[in-house]
């Protein structure tokens, strides 16, 4: 996340994520699944603004940004409004635990697609905790906010890692990882999404779990070719039984000269690892022409500050630029 002060309040950028490795180890007594995953944040952001107010009301608004600017383009899923939105739930939870009655005006600009496996809702919740903590001058630590975020969702603590991480447990146990070099991806968002609960409902836990250590070491060494060979997602076969888009995207990426490809999270976004940025733009352009969804290029984030980048303020799902 990337926080800054503005004239009337605070603004934070909430990044999306990709899962380079995802193993399902079994069902837990609490109903969640025990997982092990290697996650990388990418330079696709939602934007959250926060203006403290004297009254006790939390005013929330949400703007959905469509990257191609087309009125006919299919959007994926719905963004919950009001108290059902994770942003509102996060702000209300922090206010309640802090024992304050302050209000706020909160605005979400939504660029990360929902029901896509990119973690947009969880990232927004983490960003809401950070920005409310700053706006109300509560002084909570990052660790305290992360623990609070775990009550909102399993993926929320990930976004306090400020970079790639391995997540275990139900996703709340986060171990930061440093990745050497840069990684460039093409991400395709098909016209239909999937509910996470539905995918887990048909997923079978591994009898012989794969080890995240191999791909972690390859990533730490900056060996993108090895990372491409080691990409893995246990949820992908389950998602394929629920959506024809997964199989179609796998076939399309297999015909491209990418280093590796797979679904992110519980889907339906699908990505390919490329050799460099120019290669990613070329692959994205070809996939866009195939009509399989909206393609874009992204790269892994590692503790940088992107405020001066035009990509932060623009609509990011768009046709890729030419070489």
| Per-residue model confidence (pLDDT) at position 98 | 97
Q: How confident is the model at residue 65 (pLDDT cuts 50, 70, 90)?
A: confident
Among residues 17, 46, 110, 124, which one is catalytic? Answer: 17
| Per-residue model confidence (pLDDT) at position 73 | 34
pLDDT tens digits, one per residue of 144-162: 999 999 999 999 999 999 8
With tokens 């399309």, the residue in question is: 252
166 and 37 in contact (C-beta within 8 Å)? yes
CATH number of the domain enclosing 85: 3.30.230.10
Residue 259 phi/psi, 5-degree rounding, is: -75, -25
Look at residue 318 and tell me if it is in a domain.
Answer: no
Look at residue 243 and tell me if it is in a domain.
Answer: yes
pLDDT of 129 strictly over 70: yes
User: What proportion of the chain, given as a percentage, has pLDDT over 70?
Assistant: 88
Q: For this structure, is 84 an active site residue?
A: no
Q: How crowded is residue 315: how many other Cβ atoms within 10 Å of its Cβ?
A: 13
Bridge pairing between strands 103-110 and 58-64: parallel
Sign of CA dihedral 279, 283, 284, 285: positive
Look at residue 320 and tell me if it is in a domain.
Answer: no
122-130 mean pLDDT: 97
| Per-residue model confidence (pLDDT) at position 309 | 43
Look at residue 194 and tell me if it is in a domain.
Answer: yes
Q: How confident is the model at residue 305 (pLDDT cuts 50, 70, 90)?
A: low
Look at residue 323 and tell me if it is in a domain.
Answer: no
pLDDT of 67 strictly over 60: no
Distance of CA 233 to the CA centre of its chain: 15
Q: How confident is the model at residue 315 (pLDDT cuts 50, 70, 90)?
A: very low
Q: For this structure, is 17 an active site residue?
A: yes
Among residues 43, 46, 124, 155, which one is catalytic? Answer: 155
pLDDT tens digits, one per residue of 197-210: 999 999 999 999 99
| Per-residue model confidence (pLDDT) at position 55 | 83
CA trace torsion 26, 32, 34, 35 (10° rounding): 110
pLDDT of 75 strictly over 60: no
Dist. CA 226–CA 183, nearest whole Å: 12
| Per-residue model confidence (pLDDT) at position 83 | 72
Count of domains observed in the chain: 1
pLDDT of 71 strictly over 70: no
pLDDT of 22 strictly over 90: yes
Question: Please, what is the average pLDDT of the chain?
Answer: 89
Look at residue 321 and tell me if it is in a domain.
Answer: no
Q: Within 13 Å of residue 118, how many CA atoms lie on the same side as its CB?
A: 28
Look at residue 319 and tell me if it is in a domain.
Answer: no
Q: How confident is the model at residue 2 (pLDDT cuts 50, 70, 90)?
A: confident
| Per-residue model confidence (pLDDT) at position 125 | 97
pLDDT of 299 strictly over 80: yes
Residue 34 three-state SS = strand
pLDDT of 314 strictly over 50: no
Q: DSSP letters along 235-295, please? A: HHHHHHHH-HHHHHHHHHHHTTT-SEEEE-TTSS-EEEEESSHHHHHHHHHHHHHHTSSEE
256 and 245 in contact (C-beta within 8 Å)? no
pLDDT of 306 strictly over 70: no
Sign of CA dihedral 309, 313, 314, 317: positive
Sign of CA dihedral 149, 150, 154, 157: positive
pLDDT of 170 strictly over 90: yes
Tokens matching residue 116: 């896509």
pLDDT of 76 strictly over 70: no
Q: How confident is the model at residue 303 (pLDDT cuts 50, 70, 90)?
A: low
Dist. CA 318–CA 111, nearest whole Å: 11
Q: DSSP letters along 121-179, please? A: HHHHHHHHHHHHHHHTT----HHHHHHHHHTT-TTGGGGGSSS-EEEEETTTEEEE---
What is this structure's pTM?
Answer: 0.90
User: What proportion of the chain, given as a percentage, has pLDDT over 90?
Assistant: 81
Look at residue 322 and tell me if it is in a domain.
Answer: no
Give the residue numbers spanning the domain of 251. Answer: 2-313
With tokens 């299919």, the residue in question is: 74
Plot region of 51 (φ>0 → left; ψ -120 to 50 → alpha; else → beta): beta
């Amino acid at each position: 996340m990337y926080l800054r002060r503005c004239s009337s309040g605070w603004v934070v950028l909430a990044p999306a994520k990709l899962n380079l490795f995802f193993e399902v180890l079994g069902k837990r007594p609490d109903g969640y699944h025990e997982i092990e995953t290697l996650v990388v944040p990418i330079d696709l952001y939602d934007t959250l603004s926060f203006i403290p107010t004297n009254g006790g009301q939390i005013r929330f608004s949400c703007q959905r940004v469509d990257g191609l600017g087309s009125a006919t383009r299919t959007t994926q899923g719905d963004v919950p409004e009001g108290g059902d939105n994770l942003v509102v739930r996060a702000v209300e939870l922090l206010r309640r635990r802090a024992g304050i009655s302050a209000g706020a005006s909160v605005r979400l600009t939504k660029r990360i697609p929902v029901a896509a496996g990119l973690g947009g809702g969880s990232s927004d919740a983490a960003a809401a905790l950070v920005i409310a903590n700053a706006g109300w001058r509560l002084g909570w630590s990052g660790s305290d906010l992360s623990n609070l975020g775990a009550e909102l969702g399993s993926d929320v603590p990930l976004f306090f890692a400020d970079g790639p991480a391995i997540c275990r447990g139900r996703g709340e146990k986060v171990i930061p990882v440093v990745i050497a070099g840069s990684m460039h991806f093409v991400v395709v968002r098909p016209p239909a999404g999937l509910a996470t609960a539905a995918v887990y409902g048909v997923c079978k836990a591994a009898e012989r779990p794969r080890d995240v250590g191999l791909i972690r070491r390859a990533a730490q060494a900056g060996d993108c070719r090895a990372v491409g060979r080691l990409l893995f997602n246990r949820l992908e076969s389950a998602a394929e039984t629920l959506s024809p888009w997964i199989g179609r995207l796998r076939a399309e990426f297999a015909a491209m000269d990418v280093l590796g490809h797979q679904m992110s999270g519980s889907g339906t976004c699908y990505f390919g690892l490329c050799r460099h940025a120019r290669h990613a733009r070329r692959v994205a352009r070809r996939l866009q022409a195939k009509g399989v969804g909206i393609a874009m290029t992204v790269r892994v984030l590692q503790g940088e500050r992107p405020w001066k980048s035009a990509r932060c303020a623009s609509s990011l799902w768009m046709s890729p630029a030419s070489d």
